[in-house]
C-alpha cells in the first residue's frame, strides 16, 4: 500500500470517527417534548453544540484537503443535531401540527433538504450571488476568447518588469474596485491573473493577495457595501443620539487594526521580497520550476483550451471591465433608491449606497454589462460570431460550477448552525463577563467575533450578531470604548472570514485566482494568524489608552518592526530571483 493510500485511509477513518461521535452525542442529551410549542427548537439549541457542525467541517477540510465531502459531513451533523428531539415539526399556537416529520433519519433529511439546500437556493440574496458568479464567468471566458486578457498580459509584461511590480499593480487595481468584496475577488483575479502568471507568482500567493485586500479595503472604505451593512446593524440607542450608524463606522476605521495591518503586511511581503510558512514553498516552486500550482490538483488548468483571437487588443479587456464597474456601481445606488424621487427630493449618493442591496445591484449590473459587452464584441469589434455564444456561455458556467457548489454547501451549513441557535449561545456567553471586563472587552470581542466568523464562514452574519451586543454593553458607559469595541468586532469578523475554508469570500478568492481552495486556506492561515495575534494585543492596549492618535502610529511602527524580525528569523528571501529574466 502506498503512502498516499495509507494517508487517505487514515483520513477516511478520521472523518468517519468524528461523524459517528458527533451523531451519537444527541442521544445522551435529555430532550423535552416539543408538543404545544410554536415551532420547534432542538434540545441542543443555544448550546456549544451549535458550533460543532461548522468546526467539524473546517477541521476535516484542513485535514483531508477535500472541501465538498467535509462540508457535506458538517451539514449532515447539523441536521442530526437538529432532529435529536422527540418530535421535530412545526406547531401552531394551539398545538395543532402544521407540518410533521419524524425524528432520526427522516427528521434529519427533511431539515437538510427543506430548511437547508432548498431554502438557501431559493433565497434571493444567495441566488443573486450565484447569478453574478455565473455571469462573471461568462464575461471572463469572452475576454479570454477575444484575446483581451492575453493582450493585456502582453502589454503589462512589457511595462511590469518585476514580481514586485506585478503584485503592487494588483493591489492598485484593488483600490479602484473597493465597492464590494465579491466583485473584487472575481474581477481582480480575472484581470490580473495573466500578469501574475507571467511574473511567476504562484496561484496560492495570487489568491492570498486577492483575499487579503478585498475585505480589508472594503471594511476601511466609507463607501462600500460593507459600510452600508455595518451601519445598518448599529442601533441608534447603542450608537448614541448624536451620531448614526454611518458616523460610528467612520470613527471605527482608525482602530480596525486587523484590516489596516493586513494591508501593511502585504506591502511588507512584496517590498521586502520574502515569504514564510507554506507560502514560501509555493512561491519558490513557481519561481524556480515555473509551476504555479505546486500540488497535483490544478483547478481550471484546462478551462481555456481555445487559442485567443490574435486581433484582441488591450482595450478589449479594459472596456468590458469599465462597463462592468460603472454598471454595478449605478445598479447598487439604484437598489438604494438613488434615482427615486421622494418627498424630500432625490436621495444623495452616500445615503443611497448605505441602503443598497448588494445582491440585487450586482445582478442588475452584471446583466446590463454582459449584454453591453456582447454588443461591443459582436457588432463594434466583430471579434466573434453569434453562434460562438453557444459554446462560450456554457464554458463560463462550467468555470464557476465548483465555487457555486462550495457556496451552496457553505450556506446550507450556516443554515444548520443558525437553526441550532449559535447566535443565542454567543449572546449568553457575552452577557456574563461583559460588565466586569470592560477595558479588555474589545480584545475579547475581537476573539469571539473571529471564532464566530471562522465557524460560520460569514463576517456579515457575525456583525449581525455581535454589533448589537457590543452597542448594548457599552451604551452610556464610554463613547471611545464603544468605538473600539465596534472596531474589534469588525476586525475579528474579517480575520475569521479570512481563515475559514467555508467563507464565501475565501471560496471566491480561490475561484478568482483559479487556485486549489485548500491550498489557499493553508498558505493564507499563517499570515492571517500573525496579523490577528498582533491585533489582539493592540486591542488590549487600546482598551486602556483609548486614543486612535496614539494607538495607530504605535501599531504601525511595531508591526513593521515585527515584519523585519520575521523576515530575519523565518523568511525565505526571493530577492535573487526577483526579475522575470532571471527565471
φ, ψ at 458 (rounded to 5°): -140, 125
Per-residue model confidence (pLDDT) at position 246: 66
Query: Which segment of 160-169, 456-465, 557-566 scores lowest on mean pLDDT?
Result: 456-465
Which grid coordinates are listed for 338? 438613488
Higher pLDDT, 158 or 7: 158
Span 313-332, mean pLDDT?
A: 84
**Which pLDDT band holds residue 528 (cuts at 50, 70, 90)?**
very high
Per-residue model confidence (pLDDT) at position 231: 66
Rounded-to-integer distance, Cα 147 and Cα 161, Å: 22
**Which pLDDT band holds residue 236 (cuts at 50, 70, 90)?**
low
pLDDT over 70 for what percent of the chain? 74
**Which pLDDT band holds residue 503 (cuts at 50, 70, 90)?**
confident
Higher pLDDT, 229 or 376: 376
Per-residue model confidence (pLDDT) at position 261: 95
Stated length of the chain: 583
8 Å CB contact between 60 and 18? yes
* Closest-CA residue to 162 (of 263, 265, 271): 271
8 Å CB contact between 328 and 366? yes
Q: Which runs of consecutive H residues, i.e. helices, occur in 234-357?
A: 236-239, 245-252, 257-271, 278-289, 315-335, 349-354
Rounded-to-integer distance, Cα 58 and Cα 61, Å: 5
pLDDT over 90 for what percent of the chain? 18
**Which pLDDT band holds residue 512 (cuts at 50, 70, 90)?**
confident
Per-residue model confidence (pLDDT) at position 482: 86
Tell me: pLDDT of 2 over 70: no
Span 257-270, mean pLDDT?
A: 94
**Which pLDDT band holds residue 434 (cuts at 50, 70, 90)?**
low
Rounded-to-integer distance, Cα 64 and Cα 209, Å: 25
Mean of the per-residue pLDDT values of the chain:
77
Query: Which segment of 208-222, 428-442, 558-572 scores lowest on mean pLDDT?
Result: 428-442
The torsion of the CA quartet 85, 90, 91, 97, rounded to 10 degrees, works out to: -100
Span 11-33, mean pLDDT?
A: 51
Per-residue model confidence (pLDDT) at position 84: 74
Identify which of 149-153, 199-203, 354-358 has the greatest average pLDDT.
199-203
Higher pLDDT, 450 or 300: 450
φ, ψ at 218 (rounded to 5°): -65, -40
Per-residue model confidence (pLDDT) at position 11: 58
SS3 234: coil
CA–CA distances in Å: residue 271 to residues 87, 117, 285: 61, 45, 20
Per-residue model confidence (pLDDT) at position 17: 57
Tell me: pLDDT of 411 over 90: no
Rounded-to-integer distance, Cα 191 and Cα 373, Å: 15
pLDDT tens for residues 132-152?
A: 878 877 887 887 788 876 777
Residue 506's H or E segment, with its range, is helix 504-513
* Closest-CA residue to 139 (of 371, 375, 322, 370): 370
Amino acid at each position: 500500500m502506498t503512502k498516499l493510500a495509507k494517508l487517505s485511509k487514515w483520513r477516511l477513518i478520521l472523518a468517519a470517527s468524528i461523524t459517528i461521535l458527533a451523531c451519537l452525542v444527541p442521544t445522551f442529551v435529555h430532550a423535552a417534548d416539543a408538543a404545544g410549542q410554536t415551532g420547534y427548537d432542538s434540545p441542543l439549541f443555544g448550546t456549544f453544540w451549535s458550533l460543532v457542525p461548522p468546526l467539524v467541517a473546517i477541521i476535516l477540510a484542513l485535514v483531508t484537503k477535500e472541501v465538498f465531502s467535509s462540508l457535506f459531513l458538517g451539514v449532515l451533523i447539523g441536521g442530526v443535531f437538529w432532529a435529536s428531539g422527540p418530535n421535530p415539526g412545526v406547531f401552531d399556537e394551539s398545538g395543532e401540527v402544521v407540518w410533521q416529520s419524524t425524528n432520526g433519519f427522516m427528521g434529519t433529511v427533511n431539515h437538510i433538504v427543506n430548511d437547508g439546500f432548498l431554502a438557501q437556493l431559493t433565497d434571493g440574496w444567495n441566488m443573486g450571488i450565484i447569478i453574478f458568479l455565473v455571469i462573471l464567468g461568462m464575461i471572463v471566458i469572452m475576454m479570454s476568447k477575444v484575446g483581451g486578457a492575453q493582450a493585456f498580459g502582453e502589454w503589462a509584461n512589457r511595462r511590469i518588469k518585476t514580481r514586485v511590480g506585478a503584485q503592487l499593480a494588483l493591489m492598485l487595481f484593488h483600490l479602484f474596485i473597493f465597492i464590494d468584496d465579491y466583485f473584487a475577488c472575481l474581477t481582480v483575479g480575472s484581470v490580473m491573473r495573466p500578469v501574475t502568471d507571467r511574473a511567476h507568482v504562484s496561484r496560492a500567493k495570487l489568491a492570498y493577495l486577492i483575499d487579503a485586500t478585498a475585505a480589508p479595503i472594503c471594511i476601511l472604505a466609507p463607501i462600500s457595501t460593507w459600510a452600508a451593512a455595518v451601519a445598518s446593524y448599529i442601533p441608534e440607542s447603542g450608537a448614541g443620539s448624536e451620531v448614526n450608524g454611518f458616523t460610528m463606522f467612520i470613527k471605527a476605521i482608525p482602530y480596525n487594526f486587523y484590516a489596516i495591518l493586513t494591508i501593511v503586511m502585504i506591502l511588507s511581503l512584496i517590498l521586502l521580497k520574502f515569504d514564510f510558512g507554506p507560502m514560501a514553498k509555493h512561491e519558490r516552486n513557481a519561481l524556480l520550476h515555473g509551476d504555479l500550482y505546486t500540488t497535483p490538483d490544478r483547478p481550471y488548468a484546462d478551462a481555456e483550451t481555445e487559442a485567443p483571437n490574435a486581433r484582441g487588443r488591450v482595450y478589449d479587456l479594459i472596456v468590458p471591465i469599465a462597463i462592468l464597474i460603472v454598471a454595478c456601481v449605478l445598479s447598487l445606488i439604484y437598489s438604494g433608491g438613488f434615482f427615486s424621487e421622494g418627498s424630500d427630493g432625490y436621495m444623495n449618493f452616500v445615503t443611497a449606497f448605505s441602503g443598497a442591496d448588494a445582491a440585487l445591484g450586482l445582478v442588475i449590473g452584471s446583466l446590463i454589462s454582459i449584454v453591453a459587452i456582447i454588443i461591443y464584441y459582436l457588432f463594434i469589434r466583430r471579434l466573434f460570431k453569434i453562434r460562438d455564444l453557444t459554446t462560450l456561455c456554457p464554458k463560463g458556467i462550467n468555470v464557476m460550477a465548483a465555487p457555486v457548489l462550495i457556496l451552496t454547501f457553505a450556506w446550507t451549513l450556516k443554515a444548520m448552525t443558525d437553526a441550532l441557535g449559535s447566535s443565542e449561545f454567543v449572546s449568553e456567553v457575552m452577557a456574563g463577563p461583559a460588565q466586569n471586563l470592560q477595558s479588555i472587552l474589545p480584545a475579547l470581542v475581537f476573539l469571539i467575533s473571529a471564532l464566530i466568523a471562522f465557524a460560520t464562514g460569514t463576517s456579515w452574519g457575525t456583525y449581525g450578531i455581535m454589533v448589537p451586543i457590543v452597542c448594548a454593553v457599552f451604551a452610556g458607559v464610554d463613547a471611545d470604548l464603544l468605538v473600539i469595541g465596534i472596531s474589534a468586532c469588525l476586525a475579528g469578523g474579517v480575520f475569521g472570514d479570512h481563515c475559514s475554508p467555508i467563507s464565501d469570500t475565501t471560496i471566491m478568492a480561490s475561484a478568482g485566482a483559479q487556485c486549489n481552495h485548500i491550498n489557499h486556506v493553508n498558505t493564507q492561515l499563517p499570515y492571517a494568524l500573525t496579523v490577528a495575534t498582533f491585533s489582539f494585543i493592540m486591542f488590549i492596549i487600546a482598551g486602556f489608552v483609548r486614543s486612535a492618535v496614539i494607538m495607530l502610529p504605535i501599531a504601525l511602527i511595531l508591526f513593521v518592526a515585527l515584519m523585519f524580525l520575521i523576515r530575519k528569523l523565518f523568511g525565505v528571501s526571493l530577492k535573487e530571483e526577483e526579475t522575470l529574466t532571471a527565471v
